[in-house]
Amino acid sequence: MAVERVLSGMRPTGNLHLGHYHGVLKNWLKLQHEHECLFFVADWHALTTHYDTPEIIEESVWEMVIDWLAAGVDPANATIFIQSRVPEHAELFTLLSMMTPLGWLERVPTYKDQQEKLASKDLSTYGFLGYPLLQSADILIYNATQVPVGEDQVPHIEFTREIARRFNHIYGREPGFEEKAAAAIKKLGGKLGALYQEARTRYQETGDEEALESAQALIEEHQGLSLGDRERLLGFLEGGGKMILVEPEAKLTPASKMPGLDGQKMSKSYNNTISLRESPEDVTKKIKTMPTDPARVRRTDPGDPAKCPVWQLHEVYSSDSTKDWVQQGCKSAGIGCIECKQPVIDAVLAELRPIQERAAQYAEDPTLVKNIVADGCEKARKLARETMREVREVMGLNYS
Ligand code: TRP
Ligand code: SF4
């Protein structure tokens, strides 16, 4: 489609750390300059796994928003909001649940995987089974076209596409659809109408994606069409009925290469993180006590950076010349490990300093943060209401 709308959410279940920054947040910072972006706190999703520790969620919501802002998510470029403040998500979730086959939910791989991984929690709940559908509602309610997610979430986007398709198939078939589509083509005018027809035929006969996209662009750019006609023409292109819900695409977030303090991927569950608000003293201490190549028992024992988690941090933070210095110095026992760690400490502190300065400013001004979120919620709600009006109508809920 001509205009991209990006949407992504994050669950408020604790402090954000450098892994989040190098993985998700830097990606968001880039996207906010390229497309319309909506970023939200998925507090209901957090409750699906943390329903028995609501205090964690309560604490984490504002802190997470502050972390986003501190990292550089800009409310002038991105709409920032909280899922539960846009209750339309829950309404769409309920309505979609009516037409969601149980087997589709049971087959989503994260369902069983997470139950096994988080075996200490009782996740045999209705809410947890519905997790991907709630996510679908989050996405579909904004007609988002691009959803930046990690690899583990791709099945949820696939699931969302299937839900959208099923919904459009069931509810997009208004009486007299073909006639209405024909009338809408007339409204395009002779020349554009012919172009549309040509592209539609080409797409339907040969699967020519370019033809599809050119016809979609033609409709998007046409000023004189009503919303209903626009959707009819978009739906008619692909053969079905009106396209009410848009099928989103997963936009794979490049896997974070951020290693943790022990060389495994940085993750709260490995207890190897540096949080975005970690004090400089703690950052220093954490890096100073990182394990190194076990072969370097004494200062005079040579080592191998390939066997050392500190080296992995050099790979993220250090210049080529520093990396050469490490390789040489480690293998020849020319440098000690404490010495080797100093450039990493300096780099992490330099990266965190501006983030922490901004975080402190926002933390001191809770009203500002709340206003940013209130503003975002209002913008989001306006979009969500538009979708819901139409969903209610096609599902027979438009009583007067
Ligand atoms: N399930 C996502 C995660 O754990 C969070 C999420 C909820 C989300 N709703 C979303 C992500 C909608 C993208 C779009 O990371
Ligand atoms: Fe690791 Fe550096 Fe020590 Fe080598 S010198 S073992 S790379 S910390």
Which residue ranges have their beta carbon within 6 Å of ligand 1? 7-9, 11, 42, 45, 135, 138-139, 147, 149, 153
pLDDT for position 313? 97
Question: What average pLDDT does the segment 261-272 reach?
Answer: 93
Domains of the chain by residue range: 5-172+248-256+366-394, 184-237, 278-364
pLDDT single digits (tens) 232-260? 999 898 877 788 999 999 999 877 779 99
- The number of the ligand 1 atom at minimal distance from the alpha carbon of 7 is 14
Name the band, by pLDDT with cuts 50, 70 and 90, for residue 103. Answer: very high
Q: Does domain 5-172+248-256+366-394 have CATH number 3.40.50.620?
A: yes
Q: What is the pLDDT of residue 270?
A: 92
CATH 1.10.240.10 assigned to 278-364: yes
Q: What percentage of the chain has pLDDT greater than the value 90?
A: 81
pLDDT at residue 255 in the model: 74
Q: What is the DSSP string of 231-300?
A: HHHHHHHTTSS---SPPPEEEEPPPP--B-TTSSBP-GGGT---BTT--HHHHHHHHHT----TT--STT
pLDDT at 240: 73
**pLDDT score for 52:** 92
Phi-psi sector, 327: left (phi>0), alpha (psi -120 to 50), beta: alpha
Chain-centroid distance, C-alpha 132? 13
Ligand closest to the CA atom of residue 289:
2
Per-residue pLDDT band at 160 (split at 50, 70, 90):
very high
Ligand 2 near 310 CB (within 6 A): yes
CA atoms within 13 A on the CB side of 378: 7
Model confidence at 167, in pLDDT bands (50, 70, 90)? Answer: very high
Domains 5-172+248-256+366-394 and 278-364 share a fold: no
The pLDDT of residue 1 is above 60: no
pLDDT at 368 over 70: yes
- Average pLDDT value over all residues in the chain: 94
Given a cut of 80, whether residue 2 has pLDDT beyond it is no
- Substitution site in 49, 57, 147, 153 for ligand 1 pocket (most atoms within 8 Å of beta carbon): 153
DSSP strand pairing (36-41 vs 5-10): parallel
Question: pLDDT tens across 282-311, in order?
Answer: 999 999 999 999 999 999 999 999 999 999
